[in-house]
Amino acid sequence: MTVPTDGATVAPVPFDSRQFRMTMGKFATGVTIVTTYHEGQSHGMTANSFLSVSLDPPLVLVSVAARARLHALLAPGCRYGVSVLADDQEALSRHFAGRPIEGLHIPFVWQHGVPLIDNALAHVVARVVDAHPAGDHTLYIGQVEYLASRDGPPLLFFAGKYGRMETVSDAGAEGPFWYLW
Ligand SMILES: Cc1cc2nc3c(=O)[nH]c(=O)nc-3n(C[C@H](O)[C@H](O)[C@H](O)COP(=O)(O)OP(=O)(O)OC[C@H]3O[C@@H](n4cnc5c(N)ncnc54)[C@H](O)[C@@H]3O)c2cc1C
């Protein structure tokens, strides 16, 4: 039996963590870099667990592993930034996922005291209003204080690989449609 954080017991699961990761990897996502500024230091981490939660009030969420350095830097009241990466920003995703790239220029811009990745497709700054421990991660719910976005193709993540969208013109339809690969 495993014991979740709320103290309830649950039956053992009939699959291993590799199968869990493989199955969840079939959910294609964008890629973000979640950033914060703490005691004079900027910190960023690649994350694809970002989602919008509520329109009124505007809430977003990111799930951060308890072992991540970012985890120790986030708490209710502090702010985090989310930069949604464009398809030419894969190197930044790899860098902020713990595979540092020597000499890589980190193009930070600042909003509300939080660093964000310059030229990302979207920027969000949120103040943490709730932190829910969930297994080996914590869900950080943030109230959005700043938003900006631009047009352009996103960086994608699917089945453990990076991908790009392709514009396919359908002669029978109006305008371009976006397809995955
Ligand atoms: C596509 C993808 C999605 C992911 N999604 C999630 C997720 O949703 N949740 C999750 O918990 N993990 C996720 N991860 C894993 C996570 O990105 C890594 O485990 C990461 O290394 C954890 O970061 P950390 O906070 O422990 O910091 P570290 O591993 O110490 O740092 C991350 C990297 O960022 C660099 N870095 C940090 N701050 C700066 C700075 N100011 N200037 C320059 N470089 C800096 C560091 O040099 C290091 O290379 C994902 C990984 C990938 C590839």
Provide the residue ranges of all domains of the chain, joining segments of one domain with +.
Answer: 30-152+162-180
pTM reported for the whole predicted model: 0.90
Task: Please give all residues whose beta carbon lies within 6 A of any atom in ligand 1, as ranges.
Answer: 31, 42-49, 63-65, 68-70, 95-98, 100, 106, 157
To test the ligand 1 pocket, which listed residue (43, 45, 70) has its Cβ within 8 A of the most ligand atoms? Answer: 45
23-69 pLDDT tens trace:
999 999 999 999 999 999 999 999 999 999 999 999 999 999 999 99
166 pLDDT tier (thresholds 50, 70, 90)? confident
Is the domain 30-152+162-180 a CATH 2.30.110.10 member?
A: yes
Which residues, other chains included, contact 85 with Cβ-Cβ below 8 Å and sequence gap of 6+? Answer: 30, 31, 32, 33, 92, 93, 117, 120, 121, 154, 155
How far is residue 11's CA from residue 108's CA, in Å, rounded to a whole number? 46
Q: Which of 67, 96, 109 to mutate to test the pocket of ligand 1 (most atoms within 8 A of CB)?
A: 96
Give the Å distance between the CA of 125 and the centre of ligand 1.
18
Contacts of 173 (CB under 8 A, 6+ apart): none
Residue 62 CA neighbour count, 13 Å, CB half: 35
Q: Using an 8 Å Cβ cutoff, are 87 and 155 in contact? A: yes
Tokens of 110: 């600042």
Q: What would the pLDDT profile of 76-133 be if each residue is shown by its tens digit? A: 999 999 999 999 999 999 999 999 999 999 999 999 999 999 999 999 999 999 999 9
